[in-house]
Structure 1
Amino acid sequence: MVSRRQFLGMSAAALSSPLWAGTLTAPFAVAAPESLRFRLVNNSGRTAYAYITGQADADGRAMFVRPDGSVYYPAASGPVPQPLGEDPAVPVNGSTEVVVPRMYGARVYFVTDDKLEFFAVGAADGRTAVVHPNFVSDTDPNFGRNWTFAEFTLNSVQLYANISYVDFVAAPVGLHLTHVGGTQEVPGLPSGAIDRIASSLRAQGGAWPTCVQEANGTVLRVLNPNHRAGNFVGYMDGYVDQVWQKYASEPLIVDSQRADIGILQGRVEGGDLVFGAERFGKPTTGDIWGCNSGPFANNPATDSEERKAIVPRLAAAFNRTTLLINSEQPHGEDPATFYQHPVTNHYARVVHENLPDGKGYAFAYDDVSANANEDHSGKVNHGDPELLTVTLGSIR
């Protein structure tokens, strides 16, 4: 399982955990290339610009890739956001190619009919950090613009890229990776999907219509409910209570899918779901949507390997609402049963329903699957990449 949450935030030097040993090394070359051709394609029918930004693999510095493939490292003198010292936009008229060096936690942004505004700030550690476009605050200059992104990391191990809906759905993006020995493709959402997703959530009622974000009377984005968590307080409480009642009288089996950890068994004891030394309190709706708070908080420096294995599988089962029908996670999971409980992550449900192949990250642990050959997340990855094509489609 190649995880978006863990892989995008890691440099090559950090990829030494046993979790990755088999997944990342066996089919790949000794080292991925120092740089890779990215073909950027504009099928939106509108003027478009791209921005390629992330952290340099060598030293973690914030960086942008210029149209000619050279690198721009922004600098800031203090904590107050200030405009970048240059415009790193890549015009995309039809298609263009850019040579991208190794970088991690990176994004390819697209915007139509305008440019995006990025800012630089001096971080507490003395480095410069980039302030990315804000889709939540209507005071951000980018708020009303039509923009979207794909995520990637290119390091000495491999290229990993995915289309993320963990924050929102906007203009459609597709990925096509050409590598030694073959190709991989993730088509992403088709044109017009955003309006169908917005319509489905409005019809769902309750707090779900608040996830639809408009500009000038037109749907611009549909937000993951994690960004409207305050509107969903208590939404999952009844389901969580039923899960706790079920596993007070029978075991919950979690397969770590790691040879060094194996199968873990949990029961509700003293109000917590207990797996050996690891205890999990009842998650709130916000904990479930965000996958990074309460019992699902990520503390890489202190969490045991067992906890690191349990959290993704438990969080995924809560988002997909399968814990009442399957006590063996993630084995025994059938995608046809995902999101079928009336109280579920309907955003994830309708996003997957609108994807041609059903694949895409609708929440942070959407890569959890019953076996290594099953992929719900919509990623491309390989240790011998040759060309990554990122295509911007028409929003409608």
Structure 2
Amino acid sequence: MASSKDRLSSTHSNAVAQQQQPIVQHDGPSGSQQKTVQTQNKSATVTGSLQIQLQNRTNSSTVYAYITGLAINNNNALFLLQADAKTPYYPPNPSSTGTKLSVNVSIPLGAPGSSIAATIPQIAGGRIWFSIGAPLVFAVNPGPGLVEPSIFNPQDPNINTNFGFSEFTFNSSQLFVNISYVDFVGPPIALTLTDTSNTTQHVSGMPANGLQTVANALVAQTHKDTRRWSSLIVNTSSGSNAGQLLRILSPNSGILLNPTWFQPYWQPYVDQVYTHYTTQPLTVNTQASFGNVSGEVNSQTNSLNLGAGGMFQKPTAADIFGCNTGPFATGQNSETNTIIPRLAAAFNRSTLLLTNQVPDGEQVSQYYTNTITNHYARIVHAANLDGKGYAFPYDDVVPDGGVPQEGALFSYSPALLTVAVGGNGAYAA
């Protein structure tokens, strides 16, 4: 994989837009793949199309796949793959919001154990979606912009459908693909990437009972600390399956829907951290040209002063879980922007009282060991057979040479990407 030095941005949720308006326009790439995808690489041997095997590893025969994104070689036109899994569909620019698609883009995967071969062109900001039990409903807004399924809008036609997605970018340099739990946990998804030299990489995902395992652990955590972890569990609200476990929201998604959730949760830990660094320096390895940046908390301003890297006020729960507001909002200062992911990750993993070297002084075994931590991330990682998958936006931050946590694969010479949904037969490579 690309060095962690290249990791300056990460998975972005479009949750805010989805919450603010009933119809969401997804205008471009927002996935974590942007931080690692290289624009040029002389050793790349990428062809103009990618072969994908879509596998049904559920217990249902009613499973659909969808592939969406922006067609790089067609002026970044909005792209969906048609139901035959090989014909591109480029929706025209509609005159009104919420315009229905004029073609069928639901790719039926058939009976459990079946596979469907798909072919796609080079795509930016891509997603491979799956739904179980019912097809998904997509629409188009003027632009054109894709109206994606929303977990935030109660009027969304997909709100009671079991769905999930993986993210990818496939360009002239490489394929980058990852699984993500940044917004929610849905059906298990596993990835296998084989390159032209027959080398294989694998991300395991969760087994078939993974969602229930996460739900049980969140309930147990709420019993332990009385916080809102179990409130992140979402059951179907209507239909014959009403009351059935459907998905689990991330804390950030929960806060977007219910701003008071977790409001005071991080305060004791944040106070401890800021007191700790009034008497000793914190060193952040930017893993970029800025090198190591050190500073202490100014007791008068109650902010972490990292010199040219910026001043960091105490973050709130929403700042920590979301990683993009308050002191973690990026701006014009490039040095600050390299510090933010590393500092935000250290807060989510609660390692700032264990080492004053971020992220280089951290060990995976130390992540989430404080009683105040991102227990959602802890539980989600534990439920994945290989422990990998984006559980918060900057979950790709690791020490130089450290163990990746984000569940991403990439290749300069991809031959076949296999994406399996359902978790049956899931394995750790």
TM-score under structure 1 length normalisation: 0.90
CA RMSD of aligned residues (A): 2.3
**What is the CA-CA distance between 1:82 and the residue it aligns to?**
2.0
Pair 1:54 & 2:69 matched: yes
Determine the structure 2 residue equivalent to 1:85: 102
Structure 1 residues 5 and 173 mapped into 2: Cα distance closer, same or farther (>3 Å)? farther
Equivalent residue letter for 1:225: P
Determine the structure 1 residue equivalent to 2:163: 147
CA distance in 2, matches of 1:298, 1:115: 37
Pair 1:39 & 2:53 matched: yes
Equivalent residue letter for 1:253: T
Give the match's secondary structure for 1:295. Answer: helix
Determine the structure 2 residue equivalent to 1:222: 248
Equivalent residue letter for 1:32: V
Structure 1 residues 20 and 170 mapped into 2: Cα distance closer, same or farther (>3 Å)? closer
**What is the CA-CA distance between 1:61 and the residue it aligns to?**
2.2
Which deviates more, 265-274 or 45-54?
Answer: 265-274
CA distance in 1, matches of 2:36, 2:212: 38
TM-score under structure 2 length normalisation: 0.84
Pair 1:274 & 2:305 matched: yes
Give runs of aligned pairs for residues 25-36 of structure 1, distance below 5 A.
29-36=43-50
Determine the structure 2 residue equivalent to 1:199: 216
Structure 1 residues 223 and 360 mapped into 2: Cα distance closer, same or farther (>3 Å)? same
**What is the CA-CA distance between 1:87 and the residue it aligns to?**
1.8
Structure 1 residues 395 and 296 mapped into 2: Cα distance closer, same or farther (>3 Å)? farther
User: Quick one: which of 268, 275, 281 aligns to 1:238?
Assistant: 268
Identical counterparts, % of pairs: 38
Structure 1 residues 5 and 147 mapped into 2: Cα distance closer, same or farther (>3 Å)? farther
**Deviation >4 Å, runs of 4+:** 2-11, 23-26
Determine the structure 2 residue equivalent to 1:350: 379
5+ residue gaps, structure 2, are 13-27, 237-241
Structure 1 residues 361 and 261 mapped into 2: Cα distance closer, same or farther (>3 Å)? same
Determine the structure 2 residue equivalent to 1:74: 91
Structure 1 residues 5 and 161 mapped into 2: Cα distance closer, same or farther (>3 Å)? farther
Give runs of aligned pairs for residues 317-336 of structure 1, distance below 5 A.
317-336=346-365
CA distance in 2, matches of 1:287, 1:372: 28
8 Å CA contact retained: 1:4, 1:364 = no
Pair 1:374 & 2:403 matched: yes
Determine the structure 1 residue equivalent to 2:286: 256
8 Å CA contact retained: 1:170, 1:395 = no
5+ residue gaps, structure 1, are none
Structure 1 residues 84 and 372 mapped into 2: Cα distance closer, same or farther (>3 Å)? farther
User: Quick one: which of 334, 345, 349 aligns to 1:316?
Assistant: 345
**What is the CA-CA distance between 1:113 and the residue it aligns to?**
1.8
8 Å CA contact retained: 1:63, 1:74 = yes
**What is the CA-CA distance between 1:372 and the residue it aligns to?**
3.6
Equivalent residue letter for 2:46: A
8 Å CA contact retained: 1:225, 1:289 = yes
